[in-house]
Structure 1
Amino acid sequence: MTDTLAAPPASARPSLPTGTDAPRRPAARGRLRDRASDPVFNFFAIGMLIVAIIAILYPMYFIVIASVSEPSEILNGNVWLWPQGFTLEGYARIFSDATIIRGFANSVLYTVVGTAISVTVILCAAYALSRKDLYGRTFFMLLFIITMFIDGGLIARYLVVRDLGMLDTIWAIVLPGAVGVWNLIIARAFFENNVPAELREAAQLDGANDFRFFFRIVLPLSKPLIFLMIMIHLVANWNAFFDALIFLGDESKYPLQLVLRNVLIQSEVSSAGGTGALDSYAAAQRLGELIKYGMIVVSTIPLLIVLPFMQKHFTKGALLGAVKS
């Protein structure tokens, strides 16, 4: 009885594949096949995706066609897919003003300088705060976080800028908001999770000091983070106009956003033959509508040209700064 119930010898047992010879079950492919075989899911998923794409792209397309259409056609609801009453009068009015070109140059200057300062300060501060051997790093980080919840307000900010002698200068635009605490937290998390201490120790054994390690090793490994910070600050600095409205009194130093705002206001309140003429008022309102759509296109085109080239770095940098490896 015991002989019949005994386990077969090891040589007679079927061998199971191990190592690289073991078959891999295509679990992911199986899930995709199951999902593809569900027509109801596919219908709703594709439908929601199409609706989301239309909701995002159509407003942008409408602004473009409205900027070259007659305002009366827009008010009558005739502008849907194609321009109606094609005209470039709004763009001609915008670019005929010399302040537009000067404002564009000022915006480029403020954006480049402001982005360079912000990215440099954030990278240096975030790396220092990510080092566990930094004495008092918890205290310094707490000081940064407090500024996210406590703000002195506009009056206190204006008084500080005035007392520092930065009114009517580029520094009033690029320095007060140079360090975004949330971006600093993202950068610190990136350095903590992607720059191991063993790498720094190996560099020190090779004779590299902290500065050389940061510029020769850390920064080349942080390209996704750098592109992420550049993209965020490019958009913020290009679209900013409130600080210029508060701190700048010289119109020759106005950025593009503020110049376009003033052009729009002037077009809405001015008339060719006096405020009492109905035809003149209607003409001013028509021109104001054309300028309103045209200035949105003009101020958005530079970002639409630059940002697509940085989109993949933006996504990768955001994930690396948020997910712990």
Structure 2
Amino acid sequence: MTAPTPAPRKTKDPLSALVAGVEQMLSEARRRRLAAARRPRPPTRRHRTEDHRTENRRHRLPRVLGLRREGHQVSTAAAGDIANLVEQTTALGGTIPTELVDIIATIDAVNNWDPPQPGDLASLCRRGDLTADNASTILDAALVQPNRRPGDLTVTAKHELTQRFTHVLAGPAGDELVESLRLAFQQACTAVADAANLIAPGDRVDILTDADDNTIRAWQALGEHKATLDRISAVIDILTDRLEVLGVPQPWHAGNAIRAAMYTPDADHLALVARALLTPNGTGGARAGRWHSIAAALTLNTPSTARSILDTAHHTHLEEVAAERNNVQTNEAATRPGRTAA
């Protein structure tokens, strides 16, 4: 006998749902950590060495800004990162802007270049092309020309083209690429939010034993659309982590603020979204992973919008630091001899 369809849960405001969802997932994560802590553990060293503490501090520090050349930051990206971006974006139905396609075509041309025989002095000698008749001319040319190998040229060309790609990607082309994924992101978020009305974050597969058709379809939809959101997230990670369209982490960035800026509705919720994106996303967690309880509140921002959000958060941070400094100075002045605190 089919069980009756459960009544849909009352819909919350998306931002309220975001807060509740983060709290619920963090509570579940704490519960699992406590359960794991109660399990027997092998003996461990009581104190970490100074080297370990130094290493941990090093991992927490933001990466130093790259060297700049001609006003542009030198990216650490490689041609393989570009190929990965193209493959994953097009697989999702996204598009690569023409400016970027032209650069990719040039990289392909470099890869397919069939260089002529080397014209350096050593190669000419080995081939017997240096003769008594042309020795003076060839030696004069070798004196003023750099000795370059074909491999050196292709490496240099691909590096410079990759730098050009990242520079163009940081402009309108990057916005265009992300916008081509927005519809798929919004559809997946809506589907997850709807299905989450029937499947709670703590529900496991055993609820399907006596579930009705709507609940079974909701369970299936959560898995399907989680996969879509994970794939879009992989593209965003390439943009922010490998191609650095938002720059590199700065001291005022809380946690994974750069990543969160691509999803938060505004700067006020940046820290909250950053926390939500750190929740477990694999097996043992909610059916739709980190997206389960927060999908309705998220948006897919362009790099330009994300940069504006990070700028706003930075200004807010500076104002808070200035206010705190003023409070400290006021309190110190009020407690000096001959003065009384207000």
What is the TM-score when the length of structure 1 is the normalising length?
A: 0.27
What is the TM-score when the length of structure 2 is the normalising length?
A: 0.26
Which has a greater percent of helix? 1
